[in-house]
Amino acid sequence: MTIPIKNPDEQNKMRIAGRLAADALDMIEEFVQPGISTAELDRICHDFITNEQGAIPAPLNYRGFPKSICTSINHVVCHGIPGDRVLKTGDSLNIDITVIKDGFHGDTSRMFFAGKPSVIAKRLSDVAYESMWLGIEQLCHGKYLGDVGHAIQSYAEKNRFSVVREFCGHGIGRYFHEDPQVLHYGKAGTGIELKSGMTLTIEPMINSGKSDIKILPDGWTVVTKDHGLSAQWEHTVLITDDGYEVLTLGKNHR
């Protein structure tokens, strides 16, 4: 396994791609309301990314994925395909946006709610968010990927939620998914040693019930087996000598 180390010029390109992905999420926020379909959200994002940003929506045609963003509602864990489904009051929705600019990828996702969420949906989203940050805060030259997984898993499970095992974070750069795999569970001090110049995503998928998932016959949509709610947040992050730099910060989100 070779993990690409980005030189300063490549790091700058990653900063730009990350900024654009975060800007697209900032842009779409006001459109997430009861009554809009996920296909409309996809079209608005596609047009913004291609026309306003002069960037490429990475999911479109990626391994056959048919749309430009992923929209994952309620019990959908990830990789939901935008379509005719219309948002209802109380739905929770993850929007996952990846753009390619100047040959480099920026990948980020957030949770949104159509109207007012249930108490459990809000709490699950908050725990997923906090677990992502606890994972990110582990990142530093010389630390281990197991430190990240351990921080995420212990926080999620302390809150009596479960961590999805089948999907993970990843290296990112010239390719959408590079080495290493970033597991959202594990044992502190184990696994690959982090080096400054690596760029990774941290994107824990946290379920309200059991961690088990299945993939729908469309070959993409990942759902919880028990149909419990699932939540996910994602940032693209650069490892530095003394910590990390988050490349996909939003205007109103850390």
**Residues in the site for ligand MF3, rule: CB under 6 A?**
59, 62-63, 65, 70, 79, 96, 98, 107, 201, 203, 220, 234
Q: What's the min distance (Å) between Cβ of 89 and Co ion?
A: 26
Q: Contacting Co ion (CB under 5 A), which of 201, 207, 211, 221?
A: 201
* Contact criterion met (CB below 8 Å) for 152 and 162: no
* Contact criterion met (CB below 8 Å) for 17 and 101: yes
Work out what residue 65 binds among ligand MF3, Co ion, none; the CB cut-off runs from 5 to 8 Å by kind: ligand MF3
Work out what residue 236 binds among Co ion, ligand MF3, none; the CB cut-off runs from 5 to 8 Å by kind: none
Number of residues located near Co ion, criterion CB under 5 A:
4
Distance CA(76)–CA(249), nearest Å, equals 24
E-state strands within the chain? 56-57, 70-73, 76-78, 92-101, 104-113, 162-163, 169-171, 178-182, 199-202, 205-207, 213-215, 222-224, 230-232, 235-240, 243-246
Name the residue nearer to ligand MF3 (CB basis): 91 or 107. 107
String marking each residue 232-251 x if it binds Co ion according to CB under 5 A: --x-----------------
CA 178 to chain centre: 15
Does 96 engage in binding with Co ion (CB under 5 A)?
yes
Name the residue nearer to Co ion (CB basis): 53 or 118. 53
Does 72 engage in binding with Co ion (CB under 5 A)?
no
